[in-house]
Amino acid sequence: MASKTVFVTIAGKANAGKSSLLNALIGEKIAMVSDKPQTTRTKITGVLTQGELQYVFVDTPGIQKARNKLGEHMNRTVKDSIAGIDAAIFVADITRKTMDEEKALLASFKASKTPVILVLNKIDLIERKEEIAVSIAKFAAIHEFASIIPISVLENDGVDIVLEEINKFAVEGPHYYPDDKLTDQPEMVLAGEMIREKILHLMYEEVPHGIAVTVEKMSERETRNGEDILDVDAVIFCERDSHKGMIIGKGGAMLRQIGKLAREELESFFRIKVNLQLWIKVKEDWRNREGIIRNFGLSNTSSDK
C-alpha cells in the first residue's frame, strides 16, 4: 500500500478542548491544557503515524477578540494555520453559544473550500441527550460540514470516530515527518510549557495570563553516585512586582508547589530525574511589547494583519 499523509488544523474558540483533543488523538500529552482561555499561544504540530498513514495535526490558539498585541499575534497564527491543509477540525464546546469570530472562521474555510469536521466537545456535561441534536441542527444551519461528531475528550468518547473521519482526506505521498516524531516543539519549549501550565492550574485572574516561561538551560549529567539527572533552569516572567509576590507566595509556598508539580511532569515525560531551578522576573506589560513577544517565540510576523 502506498504511503499517505493528511494535514489537519484544529481550530475553534478558546477553551473548547482543542489541545485536549490533539493530545487524545496522538495519545501523548504534548499540548498544555487548562481551564483558562488562551492557554495555547502558538501553533503546535502533533504527529501520529499508523502504518502507511501519517496524520499531521496543528493545534492553534483559540480565536478571540484580541485585547493586546499578543492576542493579535495569536489570531494571525490561526489564520496562517488554515492555508494548504487537507481538512480542518472545528472544535466547539457544546455547552457554549457560538460567537461571531467562530462564524468568521467558518466563512474562511468555506472561501478556501476546506472540508471541515465539526467536533462538538464536552457532551459529558449535557444531561438531556436530546440537546445534542438541537446543537447539531444549529451548527448545520451555519456551515456545510463534512461531518458533525459529538464527543467527550474527557471520557474518551468519540475520539476514534474523529480519526476515522480524517482518514477520508488523506492524500497519497511520502510521510512529511519521521514515523517516530511526535511534535515539532523543541524539548526546551515543551519544558517551559509544562511549567507555565502548572501556573495556569494553580493561579487565578490576571496573573496566569501574564506569564511566560523560558527555559535557559537543559542538560543531562551523572551525579556522584552514578545517577542520571537532568538540570532544567527556567525563568518565569510576569507583568508586575505584585504578581511576582503572588507567584512566590507566602514563605515561598506557591513557587515550591509550581516547582514540585512541574518537576513531576518533566520527570515522567523525559523519563529521567530532574533538578528544576526556577527564577522569577518582571517585564512590565510585555504582552504589548513586540520585541519581548518575539523573544519569547510568540510572534507571528505574517503581513496580512
CB of 132 to ligand GTP, least distance (A): 13
The separation between CA 31 and the C-alpha centre of its own chain, rounded to angstroms, equals 4
CB of 39 to Mg ion, least distance (A): 5
Cβ proximity to Mg ion, 151 vs 255, nearer residue: 151
Give backbone dihedrals phi and psi of 74, rounded to 5 degrees, phi first. Answer: -65, -45
Should residue 19 be labelled a site residue for Mg ion when binding is judged by CB under 5 A? yes
CB of 71 to ligand GTP, least distance (A): 12
- CA 175, 26, 116 angle in degrees (round to 5)? 80
* Rounded distance between C-alpha atoms, residue 207 and residue 203, angstroms: 7
Instruction: Pick one of 40, 42, 54, 300: the residue that binds Mg ion (CB under 5 A).
Output: 40
Give backbone dihedrals phi and psi of 107, rounded to 5 degrees, phi first. Answer: -65, -35
DSSP E strands: which ranges in 261-304? Answer: 273-282
Should residue 183 be labelled a site residue for Mg ion when binding is judged by CB under 5 A? no
Cβ proximity to Mg ion, 17 vs 150, nearer residue: 17
CB of 58 to ligand GTP, least distance (A): 12
DSSP three-state, residue 258: helix
Burial annotation 83-103 (CB, 10 A radius, 16+ → b, else e): eebbbbbbbbbbeeeeeebbe
Should residue 39 be labelled a site residue for Mg ion when binding is judged by CB under 5 A? yes
CB of 277 to ligand GTP, least distance (A): 27
- Binding residues vs ligand GTP (CB under 6 A): 14-20, 33-35, 37-40, 61-62, 121-122, 124-125, 152-154
* Rounded distance between C-alpha atoms, residue 144 and residue 150, angstroms: 16
Of 17-25, 138-146, 207-215, 252-260, the segment contacting Mg ion by CB under 5 A is 17-25
**Where on the chain is the footprint of Mg ion (CB under 5 A)?**
18-19, 39-40
